[in-house]
């Protein structure tokens, strides 16, 4: 796979920003170059990496991959298709705002069109950064992006609902603060009710909101578009779906000597045709 040229990267970043200007679109999450290639073949307009899906493919838990490994992964995803790619950049791969800025500059060099910075700490005892610290880290990311031309989209993520703190008021206050600090798009993974979604959309308007939809959601794209959501991602759900099929088929062989689980396997010829440059 050939890395995109600087002009191609710039065009992808412009296209990505345009997608956020109106309407509602799905930004699915591949976990490797092959899944990115398949998603592009379906007509999606942009892709987003998934930290969990990538980690599982390397026998690691979510959050355990090194910055260098993630940067290499982002280069592969960017090179796999001609679509804009949003990087799941976790909490910025840095203990301090300066280190976050350094990491963001490296991420920009991979050619991503957007990247998200979350306010989680990785510490179960204190799972969410205090707001002043979270803002300093997000501002550092904003300054790094602006210093590189400012065309990469910055997503601010409030992680309360994923870490046992389902506090809508605090989540809304954080998202508003992240918008004021320079986030172009806002994201509160874990919110599920129409009321919570509508409250977040209203709180940060006119900035766009990303909604995470997982396997248990009954929403359609039309449903969330009507709530004002601008883009929808699925996080690690596609990777988990692939793992689910693999695990069921493998367990049937191991436990029962049955190969029935292979009946739904994709065509090798179709996959080869898809992966040929």
Domain locations in the chain as residue ranges: 6-236
Superfamily of domain 6-236 in the CATH hierarchy: Phosphoenolpyruvate-binding domains (3.20.20.60)
Global pTM reads 0.97
Determine the Cα angle at 217 with ends 206 and 129, to 5°. 55
pLDDT (tens digit per residue) in 97-137: 999 999 999 999 999 999 999 999 999 999 999 999 999 99
pLDDT (tens digit per residue) in 166-205: 999 999 999 999 999 999 999 999 999 999 999 999 999 9
Q: Are 114 and 84 in contact (CB under 8 A)?
A: yes
* Interval 47-59 mean pLDDT: 98
Q: Are 198 and 227 in contact (CB under 8 A)?
A: yes
pLDDT the model gives residue 138? 98
Is the confidence at residue 1, as pLDDT, over 90?
Answer: no
């Amino acid at each position: 796979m050939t890395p995109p040229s600087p002009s191609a990267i710039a065009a992808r970043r412009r296209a990505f920003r345009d997608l956020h200007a109106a309407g509602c679109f799905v930004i699915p999450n591949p976990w490797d170059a092959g899944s990115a290639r398949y998603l592009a073949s379906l007509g999606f307009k942009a892709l987003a990496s998934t930290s969990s899906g990538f980690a599982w493919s390397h026998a690691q838990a979510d959050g355990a991959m090194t910055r260098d490994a993630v940067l290499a992964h982002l280069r592969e995803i960017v090179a796999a298709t001609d679509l804009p790619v949003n990087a799941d950049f976790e909490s910025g791969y840095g203990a301090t705002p300066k280190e976050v800025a350094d990491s963001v500059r490296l991420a920009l060099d991979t050619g991503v069109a957007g990247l998200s910075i979350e306010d989680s700490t990785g510490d179960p005892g204190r799972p969410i950064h205090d707001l002043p610290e979270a803002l300093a880290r997000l501002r550092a990311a904003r300054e790094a992006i602006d210093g590189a031309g400012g065309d990469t989209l910055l997503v601010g993520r409030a992680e309360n609902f994923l870490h046992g703190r389902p506090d809508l008021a605090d989540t809304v206050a954080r998202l508003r603060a992240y918008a004021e600090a320079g986030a172009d798009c806002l994201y509160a993974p874990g919110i599920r009710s129409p009321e919570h979604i509508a409250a977040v959309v209203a709180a940060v308007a006119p900035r766009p909101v990303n909604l995470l939809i997982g396997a248990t959601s009954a929403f359609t794209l039309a449903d969330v578009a009507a709530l004002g959501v601008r883009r929808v991602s699925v996080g690690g759900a596609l990777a988990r779906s692939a793992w689910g099929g693999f695990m069921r088929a493998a367990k049937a062989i191991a436990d029962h000597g049955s190969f029935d689980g292979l009946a739904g396997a994709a065509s090798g010829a179709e996959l080869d045709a898809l992966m040929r440059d």
